[in-house]
């Protein structure tokens, strides 16, 4: 009888040890994925350039070489964080709505148009109207695939990706036919005169940084500290369980997609007022898709999103600097991203070692149980 | 070891990827031509051991000897070639094919390039005749009863030349009459020289049909015994390490007013078959009403409607006299005081990948008293969960442990703790103790009776006839979507009598059945 007690006790302890092992391997997988991806890139760089050492140094240290370049890193991290947060919210409902990209793109247009519509209003009013327009546009863009799924069973992934093409034509139409400045030689709108101002002189870092960091905290609080966030997480983890618990899953799923896309739309408007005087996007920036890798790296935790956005942005700018100073294309970054996402998404990566560690731990406990006998 | 040993398992150990030690140094010896019982509580490692023997799982360590030769079994094909056959608890058949097609699948007789259907049919009939199995070779498997399906499964093993048959809890899905029939067949097989491993935790059955028994407890073998030399009480003591009191102690029920009323409920399934046909009954406060029936006779759909998971039905469901809504029905019923222990633990009962805390607050998180303005009251939730864990004796190191790290019994306690801890007037307990250990089972039984005594109305569904009979105050029997019998006093019914109603051999008069709706 004492034997049984000993075994039960060890079983409990064993379980907590296994949790620790699983957590450790999860962490290890993320870090190793990044290291391996960088390693692969270094090998490629070493092959295609005459001075590999210098190239590698430029890639890794390039962003630190001046305040202006490092400012570029932060500046790029702002829209990436917006989109990372958008994807985090959408994906936590376990629906793969890709509306974030379209929402960011059209959100920028909406912000510009709204500001252009009230040319004589005071700055703060203009800013507020513009940001609201971006936010609202994002909501609508997120809602379309969600509704198509709810009423016709169409897969959000497909409809949202297809809608993104339609938005491209829509934005170009509005730019060319509605808001284009005919006097300008380039394709751009009239100036909308909403400049959020720079945070640090000598860089282009704007007040969007403050907005997005506050937003990250707000999203975290929403997801982990409020009952709506709880309902969202439960629904994402198991829709059936949520239904059984009495959660109105239809509304929750719809709400997550609308909120997520709204964040991306807001990001588009912030980007517009932070960096531009006129609207001149003729194609999507693609940040919506970067949001996926950022959210994955951050393990869907809103607080980690700014960090992983910074990481990605740093590599991007590094590749940019490298591209300008050598013969290596900036597309190199795509290769790094692909490898990272592949390794993190691949559950089997390191699983053999994990299994061995768990078996070893279990047997150690079994042996201890045996001694107690 | 002597030469007469047909099969010997030596020091088999199996560690699963999640760290669960399913078997530890298990030993088992089989003689040719015996029916050998493999016994143990749920989760004792019986099925894992048999999966190893049938090549589905590989042992972490240990050896298997067949007729004195050391063998390794890498996959089920290997096992079949060594004349080992297994009948799984959940049948492995193509429901759309006929009996013949299922039996000969993978060893089809051919004529030129095409299947020799005549020969196939002959082969099937021949083997059925040899062992006196009454089967219908041209019927589709989907049209067969569970008992018949099982026969086909056994035939599948026999036609492949199995000398050793593993039957994993074969009687769990059978009615008492079908069980008797199965036993007759097993005796014939034994007399023909086949060796049978009979997995069960039903003591009476084992004593009835087996000659020897190996008992597993907590993944270890605790001994093999000749059943002539051991009493049922001793055997049960071996299984659980203590005496099991199967009698549930409870006072006579004092039923109050009806709280749940089901009126003329009709449900169509996806194939537009009427699976619940005009069912009416009332459930009263302070009463446990048991629903008995062979699985698949409409109980599932009835429970889904009552709990609000299914919204497509005709008729009315009333709680405290108020008609329940169809859309978003679960929330409305929960608010009206209906709690639900679901049948399928892993799909509806818990989120395996969430923490205990997240699992335990899902029915209270939105209550006003658990929130401070827009924020959840973390401290209150956390205190409540700590209290639930200790009150329901959930074995875990922390409330932040993921539920998938728990054993089946502890998971069920999580479900029970959540569903039995809030104010309620109705508790729907669907298979509340399926697949869990005896200790947790009696714990949950006690809680159910306790709640009844507090005035909660309990609707109990269980595949375990003994459980329903012992716990329930009154019983209704379901057969083909209808209530075919109502027993106001469950203690006056025998298992045999229930069996007749469950199989549709008997049906009460309409007036007698109508009593339950009064």
* DSSP E strand boundaries for B380-499: 426-430, 457-461, 474-479, 482-487
Residues of B in contact with A12 (CB under 8 A): 395-397
Q: Which of A231, A246, A361 sits opposite B19 (nearest CB)?
A: A361
* Span B226-251, pLDDT tens digits: 888 888 777 767 776 654 445 677 78
Across the interface, whether the CB atoms of A7 and B218 are under 8 A apart is answered yes
- B236 with B269, same domain: the answer is no
Q: Which has the minimum average pLDDT: A365-369, B143-147, B154-158?
A: A365-369
H-run or E-run covering A37: helix A2-48
B222/A contact by beta carbon, under 8 A: no
Sorted by sequence, the CB contacts under 8 Å of residue B453 that are 6+ apart come out as B250, B251, B286
Give residue B178's pLDDT band: very low, low, confident or very high (50, 70, 90).
confident
B432/A contact by beta carbon, under 8 A: no
Sorted by sequence, the CB contacts under 8 Å of residue A316 that are 6+ apart come out as A76, A330, A333
- B62 with B152, same domain: the answer is yes
What integer pLDDT is reported at residue A363 of this predicted model?
A: 66
Distance from CA of A87 to the nearest CA of B (A): 21
pLDDT at A7 over 80: no
A238/B contact by beta carbon, under 8 A: yes
A217/B contact by beta carbon, under 8 A: no
H-run or E-run covering B276: strand B274-284
- B463 with B482, same domain: the answer is yes
Q: Which of B241, B358, B376 sits opposite A227 (nearest CB)?
A: B376
Q: What phi, psi does B381 have (nearest 5°)? A: -60, -45
pLDDT at A373 over 60: no
What integer pLDDT is reported at residue A171 of this predicted model?
A: 93
B329: nearest CA partner in chain A: A246
- B224 with B85, same domain: the answer is yes
B contact residues 161-190, partner A, Cβ 8 Å cutoff = none
B2/A contact by beta carbon, under 8 A: no
A237/B contact by beta carbon, under 8 A: yes
Q: Which of A226, A242, A248 sits opposite B375 (nearest CB)?
A: A226
Which residue stretches of B192-328 are H helix?
203-209, 232-240, 299-307
- The gap from C-alpha A190 to its chain's centroid, in whole angstroms, comes to 31
Break chain A down into helix, strand, coil percent, rounded to 5: 75, 0, 20
Q: Which of A4, A244, A358 sits opposite B17 (nearest CB)?
A: A358
Mean pLDDT along residues B455-473: 87
Residues of A in contact with B396 (CB under 8 A): 12, 15
- The gap from C-alpha B424 to its chain's centroid, in whole angstroms, comes to 27
- B439 with B416, same domain: the answer is no
- Expressed in angstroms, the distance from the first to the final Cα of chain A is 10
Closest CA to B500 of B518, B480, B484: B484
Please state, rounded to an integer, the average pLDDT across all residues of chain B: 86
Closest CA to B222 of A3, A107, A301, A50: A3
Name A314's bridge partners: none
A12/B contact by beta carbon, under 8 A: yes
* Span B471-507, pLDDT tens digits: 999 999 988 889 999 998 888 888 778 877 877 777 8
What integer pLDDT is reported at residue A371 of this predicted model?
A: 36
- B253 with B389, same domain: the answer is no
What integer pLDDT is reported at residue A13 of this predicted model?
A: 65
What integer pLDDT is reported at residue A244 of this predicted model?
A: 93
Question: Of A224-233, B39-48, B167-176, which has the strongest mean pLDDT?
Answer: A224-233
B233 vs A373 pLDDT, higher one: B233
What integer pLDDT is reported at residue B442 of this predicted model?
A: 84
- Residue B397, both tokens: 């190191």
ipTM (interface pTM): 0.78
pLDDT at B198 over 90: yes
- B100 with B195, same domain: the answer is yes
* Span A138-152, pLDDT tens digits: 999 999 999 999 999
* Span A204-246, pLDDT tens digits: 888 999 999 999 999 999 999 999 999 999 999 999 999 999 9
- B91 with B232, same domain: the answer is yes
A14/B contact by beta carbon, under 8 A: yes
Residues of B in contact with A227 (CB under 8 A): 365-366, 371, 376
A6/B contact by beta carbon, under 8 A: no
What integer pLDDT is reported at residue A2 of this predicted model?
A: 38
Domain endpoint, select from B403, B422, B441:
B422
Taking CA atoms, B485 is separated from B16, B299, B498, B505, in Å, by 45, 14, 9, 11
- B173 with B228, same domain: the answer is yes
d(CA A221, CA B216): 49
d(CA B115, CA B308): 49
The whole model's pTM is what?
A: 0.73
What integer pLDDT is reported at residue A370 of this predicted model?
A: 40
d(CA B419, CA B429): 9
Q: What is the 3-state secondary structure (H, E, C) of B22-72?
A: EEEEEEEEEECCCEEEEECCCCCCHHHHHHHHCCCCCCCEEEEEECCEEEC
Neighbours of B509 (CB within 10 A): 7
Sorted by sequence, the CB contacts under 8 Å of residue B438 that are 6+ apart come out as B41, B239, B240, B244
Secondary structure (3-state) at B432: coil
Across the interface, whether the CB atoms of A244 and B348 are under 8 A apart is answered yes
A159 vs A43 pLDDT, higher one: A159
Residues of A in contact with B375 (CB under 8 A): 221, 225-226
- Whether B475 contacts B156, CB under 8 Å: no
- B368 with B451, same domain: the answer is no
* Span A240-289, pLDDT tens digits: 999 999 999 999 999 999 999 999 999 999 999 999 888 989 888 889 88
* Span B377-430, pLDDT tens digits: 888 999 999 999 988 888 877 788 888 877 777 888 899 999 999 889 999 999
Taking CA atoms, B221 is separated from A124, A292, B52, B66, B386, in Å, by 77, 51, 15, 19, 35
Closest CA to B506 of B478, B485, B481, B476: B485
Domain endpoint, select from B240, B275, B307:
B240
- B289 with B382, same domain: the answer is no
Residues of A in contact with B371 (CB under 8 A): 227
Distance from CA of A299 to the nearest CA of B (A): 14
Neighbours of B44 (CB within 10 A): 25
- Residue A112, both tokens: 């510009």
CATH number reported for the structural domain that contains residue B287 in this entry: 3.40.50.300
B366/A contact by beta carbon, under 8 A: yes
Mean pLDDT along residues B119-131: 89
The total number of structural domains that make up chain B: 3
- B386 with B511, same domain: the answer is no
B368: nearest CA partner in chain A: A227
Give residue A351's pLDDT band: very low, low, confident or very high (50, 70, 90).
low
A249: nearest CA partner in chain B: B328
Q: What is the 3-state secondary structure (H, E, C) of B292-340?
A: ECCCCCCHHHHHHHHHCCCCCCEEEEEECCEECCCCCHHHHHHHCCEEE
B364/A contact by beta carbon, under 8 A: no
Closest CA to A7 of B45, B236, B243, B417: B45
Residue B96: domain span: 5-240
């Amino acid at each position: 009888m004492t034997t049984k007690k000993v075994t039960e006790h060890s079983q409990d302890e064993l379980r907590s040890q296994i949790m620790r092992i699983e957590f450790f391997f999860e962490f290890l997988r993320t870090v190793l994925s990044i290291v391996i991806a960088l390693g692969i890139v270094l090998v490629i760089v070493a092959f295609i350039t005459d001075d590999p050492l210098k190239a590698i140094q430029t890639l890794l240290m390039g962003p630190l070489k001046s305040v202006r370049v490092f400012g570029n890193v932060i500046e790029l991290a702002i829209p990436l964080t917006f989109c990372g947060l958008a994807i985090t919210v959408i994906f936590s409902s376990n629906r793969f709505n890709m509306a974030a990209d379209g929402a960011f793109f059209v959100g920028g247009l909406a912000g510009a148009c709204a500001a252009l519509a009230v040319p004589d209003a005071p700055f703060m009013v203009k800013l507020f109207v513009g940001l609201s327009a971006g936010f609202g546009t994002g909501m609508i863009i997120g809602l379309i695939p969600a509704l198509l799924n709810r009423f016709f069973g169409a897969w959000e992934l497909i409809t949202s990706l297809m809608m993104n093409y339609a938005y491209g034509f829509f934005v170009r139409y509005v730019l060319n036919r509605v808001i284009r400045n005919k006097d300008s030689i380039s394709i751009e709108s009239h100036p909308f005169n909403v400049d959020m101002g720079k945070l640090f002189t000598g860089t282009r870092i704007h007040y969007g940084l403050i907005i997005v960091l506050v937003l990250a905290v707000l999203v975290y609080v929403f997801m982990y500290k409020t009952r709506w966030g709880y309902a969202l997480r439960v629904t994402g983890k198991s829709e059936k369980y949520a239904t059984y618990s009495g959660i109105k899953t239809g509304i929750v799923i719809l709400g997550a997609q609308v909120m997520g896309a709204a964040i991306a739309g807001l990001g588009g408007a912030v980007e517009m007022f932070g960096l531009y005087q006129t609207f001149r996007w003729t194609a999507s920036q693609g940040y919506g898709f970067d949001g996926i890798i950022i959210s994955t790296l951050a393990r869907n935790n809103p607080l980690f999103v700014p960090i992983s956005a910074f990481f990605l942005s740093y590599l991007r700018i590094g590749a940019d600097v490298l591209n300008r100073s050598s013969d290596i294309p900036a597309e190199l970054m795509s290769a790094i991203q692909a490898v990272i996402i592949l390794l993190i998404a691949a559950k089997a990566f390191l699983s053999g070692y994990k299994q061995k560690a768990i078996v070893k731990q279990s047997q150690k406990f079994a042996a201890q149980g045996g001694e107690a006998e | 070891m002597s030469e007469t040993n047909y099969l010997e398992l030596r020091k088999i150990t199996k560690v699963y990827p999640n760290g669960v030690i399913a078997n530890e140094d298990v030993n088992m010896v089989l003689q040719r031509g015996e029916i050998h019982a493999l016994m143990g509580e749920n989760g004792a490692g019986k099925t894992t051991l048999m999966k190893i023997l049938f090549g589905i799982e590989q042992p972490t360590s240990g050896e298997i000897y067949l007729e004195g030769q050391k063998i390794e079994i890498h996959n089920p094909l290997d096992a079949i070639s060594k004349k080992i056959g297994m009948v799984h608890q959940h049948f492995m058949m193509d429901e759309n094919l006929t009996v013949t097609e299922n039996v000969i699948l993978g060893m089809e007789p051919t004529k030129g390039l095409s299947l020799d259907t005549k020969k196939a049919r002959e082969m099937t009939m021949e083997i059925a005749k040899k062992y006196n199995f009454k089967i219908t070779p041209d019927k589709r498997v989907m049209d067969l009863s569970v008992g018949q399906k099982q026969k086909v499964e056994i035939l599948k093993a026999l036609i492949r030349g199995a000398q050793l048959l593993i039957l994993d809890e074969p009687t769990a899905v059978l009615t008492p009459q079908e069980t008797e029939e199965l036993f007759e067949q097993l005796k014939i097989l034994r007399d023909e020289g086949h060796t049978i491993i009979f997995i069960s935790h039903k003591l009476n059955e084992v004593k009835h049909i087996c000659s020897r028994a190996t008992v597993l407890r907590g993944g270890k073998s605790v001994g093999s015994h000749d059943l002539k030399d051991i009493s049922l009480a001793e055997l049960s003591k071996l299984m659980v390490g203590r005496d099991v009191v199967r009698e549930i102690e409870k006072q006579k029920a004092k039923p109050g007013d009806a709280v749940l009323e089901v009126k003329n409920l009709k449900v169509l399934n996806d194939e537009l078959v009427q699976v619940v046909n005009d069912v009416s009954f009332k459930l009263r406060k302070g009463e446990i009403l048991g629903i008995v029936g062979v699985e698949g006779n409409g109980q599932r759909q009835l429970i889904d409607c009552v709990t609000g998971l299914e919204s497509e039905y005709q008729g009315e469901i009333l709680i405290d006299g108020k008609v329940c809504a169809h859309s978003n029905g679960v929330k409305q019923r929960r608010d009206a005081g209906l709690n639900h222990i679901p049948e399928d633990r892993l799909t509806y009962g818990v989120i395996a990948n969430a923490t205990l805390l997240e699992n335990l607050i899902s029915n209270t998180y939105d209550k006003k008293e658990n929130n401070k303005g827009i924020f959840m009251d973390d401290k209150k939730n956390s205190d409540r969960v700590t209290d639930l864990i200790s009150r329901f004796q959930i074995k875990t190191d922390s409330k932040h442990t993921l539920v998938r790290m728990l054993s089946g019994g502890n998971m069920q306690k999580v479900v029970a703790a959540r569903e039995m801890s809030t104010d309620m007037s109705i508790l729907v307990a669907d298979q509340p103790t399926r697949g869990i250990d005896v200790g947790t089972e009696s714990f949950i039984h006690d809680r159910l009776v306790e709640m009844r005594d507090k005035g909660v109305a309990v609707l109990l569904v269980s595949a375990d006839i003994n459980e329903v009979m012992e716990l329930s105050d009154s019983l209704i029997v379901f057969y083909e979507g209808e209530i075919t019998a109502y027993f106001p006093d469950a203690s006056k019914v025998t298992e045999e009598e229930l069996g007749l109603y469950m199989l549709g051999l008997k049906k009460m008069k309409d007036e007698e059945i109508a009593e339950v709706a009064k």
